[in-house]
Amino acid sequence: MSLYKRKKGGEQPYWPIGKYKMRLPFIHYRLENPELIQGVVIFTIGLSMIEIMTGVLGMSYEAALTITIFSQFLMLIPPMFGVPFVTGFITPLIPVLVLFLTDFEPGPQAIQALIAVQLIVAVIFLILGISGLGRIFITKLPTSLKAGILIGAGITAIMSEIEEGGRLAETPITLIAGGLLCLYIMFSLSFKKLNQKNKILKFIASYGIMPAIIAAMIIGWIVSEYPTPQVEWGITVPSLAEMWGTSPFALGFPGFDIFLAAAPTAILAYIIAYGDIVVGQKLIERANESRKDEVINYDLNQVHVLTFVRNFLHSLFLPHPGLAGPIFTAGTASVAERYTFGRRAMDSIFSGTNSLLISLALAIFILPLVTLFQPFLPIALSITLLLTGYLCINIGIQQVKTEAEIGVAGVMAIVLAVYGAAYALVAGLVLYFLIQRPNIFKKEASEEDSEEIEKNAG
């Protein structure tokens, strides 16, 4: 129950704070039980980032766990102030970011590189959000380059798992079983047909990636690829001292050379994040059309500014390799889908998104859950990256239509996967001007003109 009630056809009650709309649990919205339960399950996706922090970045486990705790609380900021998305990471960038970070020695140097990326990302979101130039920047960016970034990120994600020395070699049975099960549940046409007729399968499908992660954990334990967890009882206690040791105030701020090296990766982060925002918009538009009892209003510039706030706080106090993304697409899609069932199922889109994130933030304090999942964090990360890779490649390929676009995107993707963001952006821009434009110094031909030129050339 909540103190304020929404009138039919109106906007969910809020306290105005300038241009922002603050909503608090029990005052402006009720808590939704299905989302609370789901948050207790999917909080492990956040825990999986600990594997990167302790490995690639060289942080202690205590520091990584504490950063994860505060990171999941910072996710509450956007929906608390009026954004109807379930916030999360810039997930498709993670493999590209890891590739960038491997150029630095684990420890202070790698952490400073991450801080540089996150600080630049924050500034980009602030400038493009306040000025409103974000949409212009993305719409002017050639489709082939956007596709190349996504396909390259997807290739990098999958390569990181199957290459020599990757987790496929270390835990083949667990990774193959978990990866195939994840893709089957998420994308298989036959599974979709089955879960339309079976309530149990439909329930499993509603939890997205988590059934596959749980199944992989059980398989990994059975075949002895992962150890038996040592469950501890109590409450998770964050280590503020360890977390402070990862901040730029303790390590020192990155030098100009590190900021310069980090800039291309940060630009890629914004391009990917903006694409996620567009997906989020479509999900909320569909939800808004399905319900006449609530009007959902929000501002994209405010999405940008609140994403800036999260990334800025991260860069100064708790650097995080997932970065602070504007939307957790799978979580938002899950909430938006159940929202369409009507007001009895979910009172408001804000009660759904906030309930999921509140549960996700609080679950990490349940020490038995954290210690239960701790040995299996590598497989949780692996399945997350495999899913991300599949989605990135799928979406990227769908964006390119002409032969020229396919060629430019394909080559850029390979360069990105092998050499990283800086070389990929240069390669993509050079190929775009040399191959896609009929005249290098004139405006780009329309898609129809490009197809006609290719047809005549063939």
pLDDT tens, position by position, for the chain (458 residues)? 778 888 888 888 989 998 899 999 999 989 988 889 888 877 888 888 898 999 899 999 999 999 999 999 999 999 999 999 999 898 888 888 998 999 999 999 999 999 999 999 999 999 988 887 877 877 788 889 988 988 888 888 888 888 877 788 888 898 899 889 888 887 788 887 887 788 788 777 766 677 888 888 899 899 988 888 888 899 999 999 999 999 999 999 999 999 999 999 999 999 888 888 877 888 888 888 888 888 888 888 889 999 999 999 999 999 999 999 998 877 888 788 888 888 888 889 999 999 999 999 999 999 998 898 888 888 888 888 888 788 888 888 888 888 899 999 999 999 988 888 888 889 999 999 988 877 655 555 444 444 554 444 44
Domain boundaries defined on the chain: 15-171+226-402
In angstroms, the CA 216 to CA 24 distance is 37
What residue type is assigned to position 209 of the chain? I
DSSP 434: I
User: 235 — phi, psi (to 5°)?
Assistant: -120, 140
Closest CA to 279 of 138, 182, 412: 138
Q: 3-state secondary structure string, 213-235?
A: HHHHHHHHHHCCCCCCCCCCCCE
Question: Contact at 8 Å (CB) between 157 and 385?
Answer: yes
Q: Which DSSP category does 252 fall into? A: -
- Terminal Cα distance for the chain, rounded: 66
